Amino acid sequence: MKGRLLLGLVALPFAGFGTWMAWSVGADLAAAAAMRDWRPVEARVSAGGYRTHTGDDSDTWEAWATYTYDVDGRRYSGGRVQLARGSDNIGRYQQRLGNRLAEAARTGDPMTVYVDPQNPSDAIVDRDVRWGLAGFKSIFFLLFGGIGYGMLYAAFRAKADPDPQAPEYRDAPWRLNTDWQGPAIRSGSRAAMWGAWAFAGLWNLVSAPLPFLLYEEVVENENYLALVGLLFTVIGIGLLVWAIRRTLEWRRFGATPLTLDPFPGAIGGHVGGTVDTAWPVDARQRFRVTLSCVHSYETGSGDDRTRRENVLWQDELVAHTESGPRGTRIVFRFDVPEGLSAADADRSSDGYHLWRASLRAELPGTNLDRDYDIPVYPTGARSASISDSRAGAPARVQSEVFETAARSRFRMTRDGLTKTLIYPMGQQIVGNGAAMLIGGSFAAAGWFIAFHEGSPVFGSVFGGVGALVGLAATWMIGKSLHVTARGDEIRSARRWFGLPVSGKTLSRRNFVRFEKSSNMQTKSGTETINYYMISAVDRDGKKYRLGENFRGEGEARAALAIFERELGLKEREERSRFDLDPALFDSRATGGS
């Protein structure tokens, strides 16, 4: 009850401000419509211009005038010059109108005003709607009003918090979550779709006036640096494309709930389930399922608080498929080790644990992309209906799918007895390219501010941050890795745009083990994706990079098997006679591995 009341109190200022903005826009539109029938009359301006109002962050302007006019032989005086009241800095409308009024007062030339025929004492100089100002106010109406009324709706619909100590929750804590009352778990796809539209809509509402303001800055004031602002418009277009893609995915596949077996999923047992889709049964189609145990936590303080996720455990498989009531039924089952954290049904604290099952498939047209927030608890339960034969695709298929994906990260060349694995530059070029463009733009803006606007400190900091972002992105785009196996030696060499940067050489005789570690995590929708690098470790504990950017556990495991075959490396416990005679490795490798 207290939470609902607090949410409602927080929502009221947002809803009130949004309502005020809506009333302001509506009042101007209604007044403009009513003034269509007002009579044009010549008036004499006795004084006019614009006033400057200086605030904490910027200046605003307000056009003003006093004028007289005659209607039916009677003289009237007026002072209203525009529909909207008050000052603003949206474009240069106020200065232009003020200058025109000042010029009319100076020369004594007549100026047309519009008079209410029913009440001649009411007159106005400009009765047209300022669509730029109306659009600007509408942004605040939609932004603040949407947030405020959305929060009020959520407060009204919110249910009372359950008591965790109640008997029905003591032995089944997952039931504290209203979405976990039974084995059928809905995906977050619908919420992600609406979230994508909300974020894209808010971003584009805020940035919508930019092209009009930038046009004036660039064309009239020749401030070409202002073109940097178009990046916000480009990002807005990208967000709209993202929202459209989420919508097409939802319309194509619908709800597709996941039915857990066992329910809840079991730490120290099985996490498995089935998903029914309308996709026609095709034995060649592969559906990948990723299961993740995630720690979600907040960092920072005050307005700088951000939520982050850290994957504590992750596994991946290719699902078994069979005929279902609607089309393809997707079946999977994971063996989950003991000792992992259970999902938290109550997520009111800054940090909590969650379990996520992610289903992905590349299909003609729109890809399948679903994430399920599922209950997983240390019950040790095992699946009642998903047998070993239906736990996933056959081992041969699993190996083929993940090995193909792992091999796509590099290309392998042979030259006699020499093998080279080349991880080319330009990987993840879209994200890094965008970061390089944004960083470069900010660096250029900082340079301009420092050397042309007289703010060297701010410009240096602003530009320095942009330069660091741009340089980091340039490094990521230009880096490549070459791993060469020749005789007893394996050399790992880093290059940047083809230029050697560093290198290490490992004697195969000194190899002890592989080390797999996550070097990066990215977010795709609600899914957190681990990217892995694999290194060889020698007797002295030195590490030699063998591969990187393997997406997920499945690819990383496949890469380890590839390195064993292609590089002739076996961990110390499994070392064979090839460890002692590199020539045997070379003859085996050239014989068809």
- What is the four-CA torsion angle of 158, 164, 168, 173, rounded to 10 degrees? 100
Please give the residue that has the higher pLDDT: either 448 or 286.
286
CA-only gyration radius of the chain, Å: 33
CA-to-CA distance for 180 and 336, rounded, in angstroms?
Answer: 20
Greater confidence (226 vs 238) lies with: 238
User: Count of CB atoms within 10 A of residue 233's CB?
Assistant: 16
Which residues have a Cβ under 8 Å from the Cβ of 369 and sit 6 or more positions away? 189, 249, 359, 360, 524, 525
Share of the chain above pLDDT 70, in %: 88
- pLDDT over 60 at 160, yes or no: no
Strand-pairing partners, residue 511, are: 538
**Ranges 250-254, 314-318, 408-412: which has the least confidence:** 250-254
| Per-residue pLDDT at 286 | 93
534 burial type by CB count under 10 A (0-12 exposed, 13-18 middle, 19+ buried): buried
pLDDT at 248 > cutoff 90: no
Q: What is the pLDDT of residue 46?
A: 95
Mean pLDDT of 472-494: 93
CA-nearest of 509, 562, 557, 506 to 536 is 506
Cis peptide before 164 (omega within 30 of 0): no
pLDDT band at 51 (very low <50, low <70, confident <90, very high): very high
What phi and psi values does residue 497 have, to the nearest 5 degrees?
50, 40
**Which residue, among 426, 154, 108, 374, has the nearest Cα to 266 in the 3D structure?**
374
pTM for the model stands at 0.65
Name the band, by pLDDT with cuts 50, 70 and 90, for residue 390: very high
Hey, what are 291's tokens?
Answer: 């299961």
pLDDT value at 592 more than 60: no
Chain centroid offset of residue 557 CA: 28
Nearest CA to 280 out of 389, 375, 365 is that of: 365
Say how far apart CA 455 and CA 445 lie, in whole Å: 12
Q: Which of 73-82, 133-142, 194-203, 429-438 shows the lowest mean pLDDT across its residues? A: 133-142
Non-local (6+) Cβ contacts of 384 within 8 A are 261, 262
Which tokens belong to 341? 């954290």
Q: What is residue 409's three-state secondary structure? A: coil
Q: What is the pLDDT of residue 234?
A: 80
Residue burial 388-397, b: 16+ Cβ < 10 Å; e: rest: eebbbbeeee
Span 350-389, pLDDT tens digits = 899 999 999 999 888 888 889 999 999 999 999 999 999 9
Find the range with the poorest average confidence among 248-257, 313-322, 497-506, 559-568.
Answer: 248-257
Report the distance separating Cα 18 and Cα 14, nearest Å: 6
**Residue whose entry in the numeric block shows the structure tokens 């009341």:** 5
Select from 250, 319, 11, 263 the least CA-distant residue to 149. Answer: 11
Q: Is the pLDDT reported for residue 420 higher than 80?
A: yes
Tens-digit pLDDT profile for residues 250-283: 888 888 999 999 999 999 999 999 999 988 999 8
Amino acid identity at 152: L
Cross-sheet strand order for the sheet of 270-276: 184-185, 258-260, 270-276, 328-335, 320-323
Contacts of 176 (CB under 8 A, 6+ apart): 162, 164, 169, 345, 346
Residue 76 to residue 175: CA distance in whole angstroms: 74
Instruction: Give the rounded percent of residues in the chain with a pLDDT score beyond 90.
Output: 46
- Which of 32 and 189 is assigned the larger pLDDT? 32
Q: What integer is the mean pLDDT of 177-192? A: 88
Q: Is the pLDDT of residue 463 over 60?
A: yes
The string of pLDDT tens digits covering residues 423-443 is 999 877 888 888 888 888 888
- The confidence band for 161, taking pLDDT boundaries of 50, 70 and 90, is low
Residue-level pLDDT at 133 = 80
pLDDT (tens digit per residue) in 495-546: 999 999 999 999 989 999 999 988 777 766 566 788 899 999 999 999 999 9
pLDDT at 575: 41
Domains and CATH numbers, the chain: 2-133 (no CATH), 188-392 (2.60.40.640), 414-590 (no CATH)
Query: Containing H/E element for 267?
Result: none
> According to the model, what pLDDT value does residue 550 have?
93
pLDDT (0 to 100) of residue 570: 85
Exposed, middle or buried, 128 (CB in 10 Å: 0-12/13-18/19+)?
exposed
Cβ-contact 231, 225 below 8 angstroms? no
Give 581's pLDDT tier (boundaries 50, 70, 90). Answer: very low
Q: In the prediction, which pLDDT does 589 show?
A: 36
User: For the purposes of burial, counting CB atoms within 10 Å of the CB of 549, is it exposed (0-12), middle (13-18) or buried (19 or more)?
Assistant: middle
For the beta sheet containing 411-415, the strands, ordered from the edge strand earlier in sequence to the opposite edge, are 411-415, 418-423, 479-486, 489-496, 499-507
Given a cut of 60, whether residue 125 has pLDDT beyond it is yes
Q: Mean pLDDT across the chain, nearest whole number?
A: 85
Q: Per-residue pLDDT averaged across 174-183, rounded?
A: 90
Q: Give strand pairing partners of 66.
A: 47
- Of 314, 284, 367, whose CA–CA distance to 532 is shortest? 314
> 210 is written with which tokens?
């930019």
- Mean pLDDT lowest for which of 99-103, 221-225, 331-335? 221-225
Confidence of residue 228 (pLDDT cuts 50, 70, 90): low
- 2 versus 550: the higher-pLDDT residue is 550
